[in-house]
Copies of this chain bind each other. A is one copy, B any other.
Amino acid sequence: MENISSNKAFGGWHKQYRHDSAVLGCSMRFAIYLPPQAAQGAPVPVLYWLSGLTCSDENFMQKAGALRVAAELGMAIVAADTSPRGEGVADDDGYDLGQGAGFYLNATAAPWMRHYRMYDYVSQELPALIAAHFPVSGRRAIAGHSMGGHGALLCALKRPHDYVSVSAFSPICHPLNAPWGQKAFAAYLGDDKQQWRQWDASLLMAAATQPAQQLPARVDIGLDDSFLAVQLQPQALAQAAEASGYPLQLHQHPGYDHSYYFVASFIEDQLRFHAQHLFAA
């Protein structure tokens, strides 16, 4: 694992690393923010952040204004990349498929199945790597934006014992029924719609009827988001939560759009939501 940048920020450190991912079969970059408390001995909890289409580990760390709040609360943040990358990795000309658009699932169709196993990467390989190299506790939360909001919900719904809470900004809530999701699922998973159903947050949430399957969840949506009705469909997630009794808080914000200006406006609320659970006795 190679450290490729270090910047002091709010008394802690933002660092980027490159490592060889066995799961993805390529070299990957991630970023970690270590709050000032991480230098004081006691392990800190970690929020994992999954970004949206076209993003890398950098967008959230640079634009969300999250580090100030993480420094105050004493939580680490890990930002993953959005797909496998590199010359030998399958790609597509579209911004919404291939490199930069991994959709946080495990691909089963050629040519994607060779490298595109982002679900296993962000939910297992990356947390194990973080635990091995940084002073973190076992308490983890997960959050993301747009495609990454879908990814965060997937991780929380498929592995509820690994996280204490989940949140998302402007997530793709029901990819089975949205153009972005349909294009990606057809490529990564092929034609078998039964497979698709295993990677749809609304279907998974509707089925999560047992308390052990449920986590405290918060979703923030901008009501002037141009992707709202066709791509995001938060009402599908709300109906799923209603059906299963899932503890979902859905916050709708008039006037806000899909951008990081929206994320920045409410990231403090989401981080304090996670802190309630990350620091619970």
Let me know if B62 and A14 touch, CB within 8 A. no
Of A65, A68, A262, A268, most buried by chain B (CB within 10 Å of CB) is A65
**Known contacts A8-B224, A8-B255, A224-B8; is A14 also within 8 Å of B65 by CB?**
no
CA distance A224 to B7 in the complex (A): 10
Task: Check: A10 CB closer than 8 A to any chain B CB.
Answer: yes
Closest Cβ of chain B to A8, distance in Å, is 4
- Interfacial residues of chain A within 183-234, with CB under 8 A of chain B in the complex: 222, 224
Q: What are 17 A-B pairs with beta-carbon distances under 8 A? A: A8-B222, A8-B224, A8-B255, A8-B256, A8-B257, A8-B261, A9-B261, A9-B262, A9-B264, A9-B265, A14-B261, A62-B62, A62-B63, A62-B260, A63-B63, A65-B65, A67-B261
The residue that A65 contacts in the complex, of B68, B222, B256, B257, with Cβ under 8 A, is B68
- Interfacial residues of chain A within 160-194, with CB under 8 A of chain B in the complex: none
Task: Check: A259 CB closer than 8 A to any chain B CB.
Answer: yes
Closest Cβ of chain B to A44, distance in Å, is 19
Copies in the complex: 2
CA distance A155 to B260 in the complex (A): 32
Interface string of A50-82 (1 = CB under 8 A from B): 000000000000110101100000000000000
Complex contacts, A62 vs chain B, CB 8 Å:
62-63, 260
Let me know if A7 and B262 touch, CB within 8 A. yes
